[in-house]
Amino acid sequence: MATTQQDRRVNLDAGPTLQLEHRYDHSVERVWKAITSADELRHWFPPGAELKVTECEPPHLLAGSWYGDQLRFELRPDGDGCVLLFSHAFADRRKAARDAAGWDCCFARFSALLAGEPMSEADSLRAWPDTHERYAEQFGVDPELGRKTFAEHQAQH
């Protein structure tokens, strides 16, 4: 399996920021390719708006604006693999639980891609409702926005 450890942290000091830390049994260069190659992004990154890159230091840092929020991907070597620290600073606190649960699904697909076993969006979304409810409680936000968005997404697919 590509991921050997995962850590989730939430920082509420300056508005909600989700931080996900993953260790992968792949080189920094391999993981960098998965976060920057269009061919690979289509397997895990959410469709819609592209990341408007504001910082790029290959193969260690990619940061930018996405739907008005700030995303940051930081890679560092770790033994024979690497650690990816992902952060998403939410511009609108109300959508924090919805988006955080979505990232959990995206990174499940990311890990599957690195393992050579791509995962469908539908398979990744199976855990979304429970994950969303946990994040809504953790962020202290009303879960209705996320519930409504998920129901609409399911009805379209």
How does residue 1 score in pLDDT terms, banded at 50, 70 and 90?
very low
Average pLDDT over the chain reads 89
Give the range of the structural domain holding residue 100, as residue numbers without chain letter: 3-156
Residue 91: its pLDDT value, please?
83
Q: Is the pLDDT assigned to residue 11 strictly greater than 80?
A: no
111-140 tens-digit pLDDT? 999 999 999 999 999 999 999 999 999 888
Residue 10: its pLDDT value, please?
55
Q: Look-up: residue for tokens 């193969």?
A: 59
Residue 28 CA to residue 35 CA, distance in Å, equals: 11
Residue 138: its pLDDT value, please?
87
Phi, psi of 85 (to 5 degrees): -110, 115
In 90-152 the beta strands, taken as DSSP E runs, fall at none
Count up the domains in the chain and report the number. 1
- Where on the phi/psi map is residue 76: left (φ > 0), alpha (ψ -120 to 50), or beta? beta
Whichever domain contains 44, its CATH number is: 3.30.530.20
Provide the 3-class DSSP secondary structure of residue 14: coil
28-61 tens-digit pLDDT? 999 999 999 999 999 999 988 899 999 999 999 9
